[in-house]
């Protein structure tokens, strides 16, 4: 009796497996029903169309339209093999647009009035003099009444992820650009939320028993310093790009000089910096 039950159960299992295989094969051939591999293939194909269209728009000088197409890939096809390339293009074009007179949803046009100066305007809008100059291709601080200036109204913040050694610049809470950085050796960069309270061009490095001047190959601070409300800690440049992406610093966040100069231009004193594990 027991043997009979066992044989019947085994037969049921074999039949179920056989039927499931048939159903799987039938479904694989039915239009509109896809396997995971087929779904991924369709996703990559659709993402590729959008990516190529974005590149075409960029080549035609339609930068904002291209930017929106790259954003579509990230939003609609997060599993696509093109996500990394789209993210890189998005980072590049986001900065190019910010540093140009091209108007955006988070910018405004300000008409200079008598008594204005760039410092006063930057303070009014919570931006930087450097960004105003860059966005309007100004070669100096001289402005005159009647001039119309593109001004960024975005509120920027910074997130440093030590586990990935990346710094994410956010604009109104949305990812604007991601940078590779170096953080503290043995995970020593303190976690928490701080503010930028100091900005220096070509900083002098004061180390134990020595003062290292700007431009010296021994000055590990590079070309910019953004000091934090956490004393003795900050975001700065480097003299050795090869160490980026690693936990090698004495605790500060280290960027390439090119990247730290970009960040320096964009974020004002008071910008929030959050550091996480």
- pTM as predicted: 0.82
List the one residue out of 77, 76, 70 whose CA is nearest residue 51: 70
- Catalytic site positions: 236, 252
Q: Name which of 74-83, 121-130, 241-250 the model is least confident about.
A: 74-83
Q: Which domain does 138 fall in, by range?
A: 107-152
Are residues 175 and 92 located together in one domain of the fold?
Answer: no
Length in residues, the chain: 277
The answer to whether residue 188 sits within a structural domain is yes
CA dist 109 and 124 (Å) reads 13
User: Which residues, including other chains, have CB under 8 Å from residue 183's CB and lie 6 or more apart?
Assistant: 160, 162, 165, 189, 247, 249, 253, 254
Are residues 187 and 236 located together in one domain of the fold?
Answer: yes
Are residues 163 and 254 located together in one domain of the fold?
Answer: yes
| pLDDT tens-digit map of 70-100 | 999 999 999 899 999 999 999 999 999 999 9
Which residue reads 């980072």 in tokens? 91
The answer to whether residue 21 sits within a structural domain is no
Are residues 125 and 195 located together in one domain of the fold?
Answer: no
| pLDDT tens-digit map of 45-54 | 999 999 999 9
């Amino acid at each position: 009796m027991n043997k009979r039950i066992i044989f019947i159960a085994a037969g049921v299992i074999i039949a179920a497996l056989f039927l499931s295989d048939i159903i799987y094969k039938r479904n694989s051939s039915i239009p509109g029903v896809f396997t995971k591999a087929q779904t991924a293939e369709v996703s990559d194909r659709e993402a590729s169309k959008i990516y190529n269209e974005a590149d075409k728009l960029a080549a035609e000088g339609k930068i904002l339209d291209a930017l929106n197409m790259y954003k579509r890939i990230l939003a609609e096809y997060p599993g696509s093999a093109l996500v990394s390339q789209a993210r890189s293009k998005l980072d590049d074009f986001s900065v190019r647009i910010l540093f140009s007179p091209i108007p955006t949803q988070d910018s405004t046009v300000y008409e200079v009035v008598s008594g204005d100066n760039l410092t006063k305007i930057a303070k009014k809008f919570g931006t930087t003099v450097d960004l105003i100059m860059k966005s309007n291709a100004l070669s100096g601080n001289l402005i005159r009444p009647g001039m119309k200036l593109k001004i960024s109204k975005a509120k920027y913040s910074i997130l440093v992820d030590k586990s990935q050694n990346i710094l994410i610049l956010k604009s109104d809470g949305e990812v604007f650009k991601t940078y590779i950085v170096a953080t503290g050796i043995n995970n020593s960069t303190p976690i928490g939320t701080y503010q930028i309270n100091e900005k220096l061009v070509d900083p002098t490095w004061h180390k134990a028993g020595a003062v290292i001047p700007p431009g010296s190959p021994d000055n590990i601070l590079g070309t910019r310093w953004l000091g934090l409300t956490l004393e003795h800690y900050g975001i700065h440049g480097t003299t050795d790009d090869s160490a980026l992406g690693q936990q090698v610093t004495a605790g500060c966040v280290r960027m390439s000089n090119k990247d730290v100069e970009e960040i320096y231009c964009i974020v004002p004193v008071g910008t929030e910096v959050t550091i996480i594990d």
